[in-house]
Structure 1
Amino acid sequence: MCATKFVVRAMTESLRKELGVLEGIKASTIGPGVTDTGWPAKVTHLAGRKAAQELNDIAVIPESVADAVVYALHQPADVTVNDLIIPPTRRNS
């Protein structure tokens, strides 16, 4: 998993440097944290479903991820958001 993530980061960085400087095309790495996609309902193992639900309780809603991406896209032409990390901040009560 770490190797795959490194390859994606390296490719994005390469694209950012080559296309950004020469063509003005922006490239960003987007790293959403736990996102509420409804996946706990699909877990069939009882203990796994409970763990998934607990994690999902603090998850970022998809609309928040989309808002963060829109933020990155709406930066001035001379600004690139290199890494957009979107961790959850909600906490269980």
Structure 2
Amino acid sequence: MGKISFHIYNVIILVLLSAFNCLVLFAFGIGEGGMTLSDWFPIVFSFIIWGIFYAVQFMKSSKRWRVLWFIAMVVLLYFWLTGLGSLIGYKLFR
């Protein structure tokens, strides 16, 4: 697994992240309540988390480093998108 495969894996995660966030935005769009800052927080910050982990993966050329940070990114984004992000956004902005 070289650099190209890690770029491909990261782009796949970005596409999945974008698709999930588009579904969330669509759900808020068909609702009557509108979106507040606490609703935007998990959506925007998920892309920031992805970008930070993407940059960290390529700071060193070790494959072990990349695999470790890729797995950490997937796990953190999973927990972030399944409720941790909205919980933090609710606590910060309400």
TM-score interval w.r.t. the shorter chain? 0.3 to 0.5
TM-score (norm 2): 0.40
Structure (1/2) with the larger strand percentage: 1
In our comparison, the structure showing a higher alpha carbon Rg is 1
TM-score by length of 1: 0.41
